[in-house]
Amino acid sequence: MSTLNTVIARYVDDIAPDSVLLLGSTANARWVQLDLNCAPNVVSVREVDQSHLPSATGPFDLVLVAGVIEHLDRRVGGRLLGTLRDLHARTLIVQILSAIGTDETCWSLADMLAFGFDQLGSFEESEGTVDVYRFSLNDYKKTPDWLNPNHWAHPHLWKP
């Protein structure tokens, strides 16, 4: 397995999804390469264009997007990412091929961070450099240390 497959397989094993949405033909091929039989409910949407965004019902435990975002303009791609993140996915893994795209379709690390994604890494594949990002509801917002009664006024007045 390549490093990219290893990283994705590790996250899939951690999640142990019951439902999976594969968005894009590359996502479907990646899933077949991983040869994971953990999810009984796998929905595959191979083609996504600018006029028709997927209307799959969710939320899915895992949504894997590959070979889609870099072919959409930024407005439509942003709407797709936001819809998947907010409505369809508990965990969202997006794979973006860096070599493809124009200024209107290229996605930077800052763009993905603005959507709340973490970068899992950049990997050299046969088709070029692939950047992989992840969004998970479980660890999107960690509770800050200061948000506890020890830092409030008169903590001795609060009962545990």
Alpha-helix residue ranges (DSSP H) falling in 67-154: 74-83, 109-114
User: CATH number for the domain including 87?
Assistant: 3.40.50.150
Q: Is residue 153 part of a domain?
A: no
Q: Is residue 158 part of a domain?
A: no
Angle at 86 between CA 132 and CA 11, to 5 degrees: 35
Q: Is residue 129 part of a domain?
A: yes
Domain extent, residue 130, equals 3-138
Residue 145 is predicted with a pLDDT of 75
Q: Is residue 21 part of a domain?
A: yes
Q: Is residue 57 part of a domain?
A: yes
Residue 4 is predicted with a pLDDT of 84
For 1-42, give the DSSP string. --HHHHHHHHHHHHH--SEEEEESHHHHHHHHHHT----SEE
Q: Is residue 157 part of a domain?
A: no
> What does the block give as tokens for 19?
């439902």
Q: Is residue 28 part of a domain?
A: yes
Residue 95 is predicted with a pLDDT of 92
Give the number of domains in the chain: 1
In the chain, which stretches have pLDDT less than 70?
A: 1-2, 35-39, 49-57, 99-105, 149-156, 158-160
Strand order of the β-sheet with 19-23 is: 41-45, 19-23, 60-66, 89-97, 128-136, 118-125
Q: Is residue 100 part of a domain?
A: yes
Residue 92 is predicted with a pLDDT of 94
Residue 33 is predicted with a pLDDT of 73
The CA-to-CA distance between both ends of the chain, in Å, stands at 50
pTM for this entry:
0.80
